[in-house]
C-alpha cells in the first residue's frame, strides 16, 4: 500500500489515480493470452466455430467503428442507461426519503418494494414491452427498475444512520425543513447514496441490454443478439466488450464524482492512512 500511495506533508498516504494501472493491464493481458491460447488449441478442430480469434474481433471492431454502427448503437444504449439511471435514482430518493420519514409509507411500500425485487427482470421485460411499447420507453423503465433498488437501499441506510443527536441539534435550533435536508441529510447520506449510485450505474447497462434483448432494432444488446443469430461471433464480442467498457467508464466516472464530492470526508476515513497504520 505504501508503494502505491502518495505521502503527504502531514505523514498520511493518499490514493493516487492510475496507481493500479499496471495490474489492470496485466489482468487484461492475461485474459488475451488465455483467449489466444484457447484459439490456438481449437484451431484445427471444429470447435473453432465457437470462439473467434482476437484478430477477427479487432478487425470487426474497426469495421463497426468505420461505418458508424458501433458508435450509433453504443449511443442508443448509453441514452437508455442515462435516462433509466436518472428515473430510477429520482424514484429511489423520493421513496427512500418517504420510507424513512413516514412510518405509514414504510409499512405500505417496503413489502411491495422488497417482493418486487424477487421478480426477475427478464421475466418482466416482455410485459414492459407490451405496456410501454417497443421503443425507448420500455428500455428506460427496465433500466430504472434495475437501478432503483440498490440506490433506494443505500439512501434509506444513509438517512437512518444519521446521528440522532445531530437531528436533535437541528430541532433545537428550529432549523427549517430545507435546511435540515441541505445541511444534515444530504451530506450525511451522500457517501451511501454515491456507493449505491456506483452499483446502479453499472447495473444500468444490464437493464438496457435486457430491454434490447426482448425487442429492439438498435443498441448494443441488439448487436449481441443480431451477432448471435447471424453467426457473427466477432460482432457479438465487439458489442460485449463495448458494454464492458461502458460499465467500467461509468463506474470510474461515478468513483471520480464520489471522490470529488466526499473530499471533506476522505481526509479522515478510508483513503487516507496514518503513519501508524502502515504495515
Partner 1 sequence: MKYIRWLSFVMVFVLLSGCAGKAAPSALTPINLPMGYVANVQFSPFYVGKERGYFEKAGFDVTFDYRWETDGIQLVAAGEIPFAIASGDQVIQARSRGLPVVAVAAWYQKFPVAIIALGNTPLRSPADLRGLRIGIPETFGASYIGLRALLKAGGLSEADIKLQTIGYTQLAALTAGTVDAAVVYANNEPVVLAREGTPFNALYVSDYADLVSAVIVSNDTMVREHPKEVQAFVTAFLTGLQDVLDDPDAAFAVCAKYVEGLEENAAAQRGVLDTSIEFWRAAHLGRFEAAAWEEAQKVMAESGLLEQTVPIETLFTNKFVK
For binding to partner 1 (CB under 8 A), which residues are involved? 45-50, 126, 129-130, 133-134, 214-217, 225-226, 228-232
Give bridge partners of residue 273 from the DSSP assignment. Answer: 13
Angle, CA of 112, 118 and 120, to the nearest 5°: 125
- Shortest reach from residue 132's CB to partner 1, in Å: 10
Residue closer to partner 1 (CB basis): 73 or 154: 73
Q: CA-to-CA distance for 261 and 263, rounded, in angstroms?
A: 6
Residue 45 corresponds to which cell in the numbers above? 478442430
Fill in the DSSP letter of residue 174. Answer: T
Residue closer to partner 1 (CB basis): 132 or 170: 132
Residue closer to partner 1 (CB basis): 49 or 62: 49
* DSSP-derived 3-state class of residue 7: strand
Residue closer to partner 1 (CB basis): 37 or 267: 37
- Shortest reach from residue 136's CB to partner 1, in Å: 13
- Shortest reach from residue 216's CB to partner 1, in Å: 6
Decide the pairing of beta strands 272-273 and 5-7: unpaired
Residue closer to partner 1 (CB basis): 200 or 234: 234
- Shortest reach from residue 125's CB to partner 1, in Å: 8
- Shortest reach from residue 53's CB to partner 1, in Å: 13
Q: H/E/C letters for each residue in 213-236?
A: HHCCCCCHHHHHHHHHHCCCHHHH
Q: CA-to-CA distance for 263 and 190, rounded, in angstroms?
A: 12
Amino acid at each position: 500500500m505504501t508503494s502505491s500511495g502518495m505521502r503527504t506533508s502531514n505523514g498520511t498516504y493518499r490514493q493516487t489515480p492510475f496507481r493500479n494501472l499496471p495490474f489492470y493491464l496485466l489482468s487484461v493481458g492475461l485474459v488475451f493470452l488465455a483467449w489466444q491460447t484457447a484459439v490456438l488449441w481449437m484451431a484445427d478442430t471444429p470447435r473453432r466455430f465457437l470462439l473467434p480469434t482476437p484478430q477477427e474481433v479487432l478487425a470487426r471492431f474497426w469495421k463497426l467503428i468505420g461505418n458508424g454502427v458501433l458508435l450509433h448503437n453504443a449511443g442508443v444504449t448509453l441514452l437508455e442507461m442515462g435516462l433509466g439511471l436518472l428515473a430510477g435514482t429520482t424514484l429511489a430518493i423520493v421513496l427512500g426519503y418517504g420510507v424513512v420519514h413516514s412510518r405509514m409509507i414504510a409499512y405500505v411500500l417496503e413489502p411491495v418494494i422488497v417482493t418486487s425485487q424477487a421478480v426477475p427482470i427478464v421475466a418482466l421485460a416482455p410485459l414492459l414491452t407490451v405496456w410501454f411499447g417497443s421503443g425507448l420507453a420500455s428500455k428506460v423503465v427496465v433500466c430504472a427498475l434495475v437501478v432503483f433498488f440498490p440506490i433506494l437501499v443505500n439512501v434509506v441506510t444513509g438517512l437512518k444512520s444519521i446521528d440522532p443527536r445531530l437531528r436533535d441539534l437541528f430541532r433545537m435550533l428550529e432549523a427549517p425543513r430545507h435546511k435540515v435536508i441541505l445541511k444534515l441529510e444530504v451530506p450525511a447520506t451522500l457517501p451511501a447514496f454515491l456507493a449505491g449510485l456506483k452499483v446502479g450505474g453499472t447495473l444500468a447497462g444490464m437493464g438496457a441490454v435486457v430491454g434490447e434483448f426482448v425487442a429492439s432494432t438498435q443498441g448494443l444488446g441488439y448487436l449481441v443478439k443480431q451477432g448471435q443469430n447471424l453467426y457473427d461471433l466477432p460482432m457479438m464480442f465487439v458489442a460485449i466488450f463495448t458494454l464492458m467498457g461502458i460499465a467500467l467508464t461509468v463506474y470510474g466516472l461515478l468513483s471520480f464524482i464520489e471522490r470529488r464530492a466526499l473530499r471533506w470526508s476522505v481526509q479522515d476515513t478510508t483513503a487516507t492512512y496514518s503513519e501508524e497504520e502502515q504495515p
